[in-house]
Copies of this chain bind each other. A is one copy, B any other.
Amino acid sequence: MAQGRVTIVDVASRAGVSKSAVSFALNGRPGLAEETRQRILDVAREMGWSPSQRGRSLAVSRAFAVGLILARAPELIGSDPFYPSFIAGAEAVLSKSGYSLLLQVLDDPAREADAYHRLATEGRVDGVFLSDMRHGDPRIAMLTELGLPAVTLNRSNISSPFPAVCLDDNAPGITVATRHLIELGHRRIAHVTGPVEFMHAVRRRDAWGAALADAGVPEGPVVVSDFTASGGAAATRELLSLEEPPTAIVYANDLMAMAGMVVAQDLGFPVPQRLSVTGFDDTELAAYVSPALTTVRTSPFAWGQHAAQTLLQFIDAGSAPDVELDSPELVIRTSTARPLEPPLT
């Protein structure tokens, strides 16, 4: 059974009307007697018919799908809890609107341009999410050229015709984390950042620097890392081998912070007694390591929801306002404390 799929003409003939009538009924268009509409819908339900997305897509020139392209090394994707939650949030609003999410994962960032190009020319999607914004991000020009709608997750540093949905774009999360350390009395505060090609990495770095400058605290050392546990461990080892090791480290994500804490304790820097540590993300595990990690709680789920909402609106209406999500909050746990020796003021 279920050999030949049931199509609109099957429904039409069963209901004794033309296929146009079925289409009208389905899409709630005016010009059909209420009774007829009802009968058609009843027959459709009874026959278990849903309109073929293929036919529909072709007719209305829409894919009813949006794309997300991840151009990160697979192992990095796995450890970062951001995407799954973001996707869950986006999916929640997409599926409600009959849209699907097309996910593409690239190991080789060089093939990224090609991937967007194909998504666009093949007409597989009506729009895309642009994540991990970079400096002078080339994807913006490319998508403009292709005529493919997009939404950027936070802003790039170049002007863009696409709406931006921002969460912690100016890194107030890092600002408040840094301030927290300053208030505790720290004066040698280091920073472990992500790859500098990412906007969010430099924004966080800048926010950290500005918070220090505001308080008249000299800028501590910075190590550029890569968001992985091994990178965080290496960066920490580097910082703690300095002649004057920092008394606190602001990490750009939880994973590096958690790995860093272990390294610190191994090197004879108990946390938080001799080293305070802050993370970023508030992954579930952060509350269950020892000491529990003080970190910045972001809400990727909400971010996904708003990004999807904005993207759909932009696709529909041709324009959509930027969205600024609530600043993330600092979750203070036990990985931060006053420094052992008070600073010489």
Q: Identify the A interface with B (CB < 8 A).
A: 2, 5, 48-55, 57-58, 61, 63, 65, 74-75, 77-85, 87-89, 91-92, 95, 100-105, 107, 115, 118, 121-124, 145-147, 228-230, 232-233, 255, 258-259, 262-263, 265-266, 283-285, 287-290, 300-301
B92 near A288: Cβ-Cβ < 8 Å: no
B287 near A229: Cβ-Cβ < 8 Å: yes
Contact of A75 among B5, B118, B284 (CB under 8 A): B284
Which residue from chain B places its CB closest to the CB of A56 in the assembled complex? B122
B230 near A288: Cβ-Cβ < 8 Å: yes
Which residue from chain B places its CB closest to the CB of A50 in the assembled complex? B121
B residues within 8 A CB of A54? 54, 57-58, 61, 63, 123
Indicate the member of A57, A75, A123, A288 with the most B CB atoms within 10 Å: A288
B91 near A85: Cβ-Cβ < 8 Å: no
B283 near A262: Cβ-Cβ < 8 Å: no
A145 and B2 contact, Cβ closer than 8 Å, known pairs A55-B58, A88-B105, A104-B100: yes
Distance to closest chain B CB from A308 (angstroms): 12
7 closest Cβ pairs, A-B complex: A74-B88, A259-B288, A78-B81, A91-B105, A50-B121, A77-B84, A229-B288
Q: What's the Cα separation between A101 and B125 when bound, in Å?
A: 12
A87 near B105: Cβ-Cβ < 8 Å: yes
A101 and B103 contact, Cβ closer than 8 Å, known pairs A259-B285, A262-B290: yes
B residues within 8 A CB of A229? 284-285, 287-288
Indicate the member of A84, A100, A255, A258 with the most B CB atoms within 10 Å: A84
Which residue from chain B places its CB closest to the CB of A283 in the assembled complex? B79
Distance to closest chain B CB from A167 (angstroms): 15
B residues within 8 A CB of A289? 258, 262, 289
A122 near B88: Cβ-Cβ < 8 Å: no
B residues within 8 A CB of A300? 78
B residues within 8 A CB of A52? 58, 122-123
Q: What's the Cα separation between A232 and B288 when bound, in Å?
A: 10
Q: What's the Cα separation between A50 and B122 when bound, in Å?
A: 6
A122 and B84 contact, Cβ closer than 8 Å, known pairs A78-B284, A258-B288, A262-B290: no
